[in-house]
């Protein structure tokens, strides 16, 4: 389910850009006695992989009425419901097969691009994929006109990053499965321009409306789930298959001024607390 390969029905699945993965501060492992008291360590067979998790954020979620007010101030249009087929998403899991607790709350925001057109992407997600290798989805698409298309609810696990880790943090929930961050991630994808529907290294880029509404969506997710800006990243940065490079032509210098404007407008300066894009 979380292993993503090329879907034969689409001809091409989603490729990605970002910066190279680096070791980030703020990780702890259940195998590290300096970070977790011994009594708190879960009991698991010696064959179980180390349980790596992100340290909980100090940021507290914002009240729902404040989030609604922020959305109005940002003049974001209503989300358009384009639900994925049930085969293309799952539940956020609270335990692995060894019985150890997993944190399944959203903690990381991952940026993607579609590589194919808007309708083709929606059709792909709404097509039943019984085979694990073909299952794919994001929580949200940002269309070329800035429209926000809701694909998977936040409280479900979208299949946006197969073999993936945020720094060293990843979850292997059962034997034989690769590590993935899907259980703790929110995935948002920008619809690619016509000249980006191939595997070239770059294209003409994303529209001002996409950058503007992406900035607003990122801030709303941060406020709703208490996610630091340092946990906004790209598919390329979290990918461990070394095959994803999206969003290929993303410009942080175009995104950040719009994001900071949204932060000031909503009075949520505490969420602009570091450098994104790692």
CB atoms within 10 A of CB 148: 19
| Per-residue pLDDT at 135 exceeds 70 | yes
In a domain, 14, yes or no: no
In angstroms, what CA-CA distances link 176 with 3, 49, 97, 172? 11, 11, 11, 9
Domain range for 210 is 27-271
Number of domains in the chain: 1
In angstroms, what CA-CA distances link 130 with 3, 7, 124, 181, 217? 13, 12, 13, 22, 31
| Per-residue pLDDT at 241 exceeds 80 | yes
In a domain, 18, yes or no: no
In a domain, 188, yes or no: yes
Query: Among residues of the chain, what percentage have pLDDT more than 70?
Result: 83
In a domain, 12, yes or no: no
Query: Which CATH number covers residue 34?
Result: 3.40.80.10
In a domain, 10, yes or no: no
What would the pLDDT profile of 248-258 be if each residue is shown by its tens digit? 999 999 999 99
Say what the pLDDT of residue 46 is: 63
Q: Which long-range contacts (CB under 8 A, 24 or more apart) does 40-44 make?
A: 42/98, 42/99, 42/100, 42/101, 43/99, 44/98, 44/99, 44/100
Instruction: Tell me the sheet residues that pair with 234.
Output: 111
What would the pLDDT profile of 163-215 be if each residue is shown by its tens digit? 999 998 999 877 877 799 999 999 999 999 999 998 889 999 999 999 999 99
In a domain, 2, yes or no: no
| Per-residue pLDDT at 103 exceeds 60 | yes
In a domain, 4, yes or no: no
Nearest one of 31, 140, 28, 143 to 84, comparing CA atoms: 140
In a domain, 195, yes or no: yes
């Amino acid at each position: 389910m979380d292993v993503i390969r090329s879907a034969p029905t689409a001809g091409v699945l989603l490729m990605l850009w970002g910066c190279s993965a680096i070791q980030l501060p703020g990780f702890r492992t259940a195998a590290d006695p300096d970070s977790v008291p011994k009594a708190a360590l879960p009991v698991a067979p010696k064959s179980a992989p180390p349980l790596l998790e992100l340290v909980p954020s100090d940021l507290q979620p914002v009240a729902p009425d404040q989030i609604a007010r922020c959305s109005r101030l940002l003049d974001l249009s209503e989300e358009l419901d384009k639900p994925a087929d049930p085969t293309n998403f799952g539940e956020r899991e609270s335990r692995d097969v060894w019985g150890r607790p997993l944190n399944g709350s959203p903690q990381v925001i991952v940026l993607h691009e579609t590589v194919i057109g808007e309708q083709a992407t929606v059709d792909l997600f709404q097509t039943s994929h019984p085979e694990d290798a073909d299952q794919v989805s994001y929580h949200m698409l940002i269309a070329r006109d800035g429209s926000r298309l809701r694909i998977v609810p936040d409280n479900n696990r979208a299949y946006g990053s197969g073999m993936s880790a945020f720094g060293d943090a990843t979850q292997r929930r059962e034997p034989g499965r690769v590590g993935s961050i899907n259980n703790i991630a929110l995935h948002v994808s920008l619809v690619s321009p016509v000249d980006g529907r191939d595997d070239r290294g770059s294209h003409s880029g994303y529209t001002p409306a996409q950058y503007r509404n992406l900035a607003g969506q990122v801030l709303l997710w941060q406020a709703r789930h208490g996610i630091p800006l340092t946990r906004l990243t790209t598919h390329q940065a979290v990918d461990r298959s070394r095959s994803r490079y999206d969003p290929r032509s993303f410009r942080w210098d175009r995104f950040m001024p719009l994001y900071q404007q949204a932060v000031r407008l909503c009075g949520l300066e505490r969420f602009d607390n570091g450098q994104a894009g790692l």
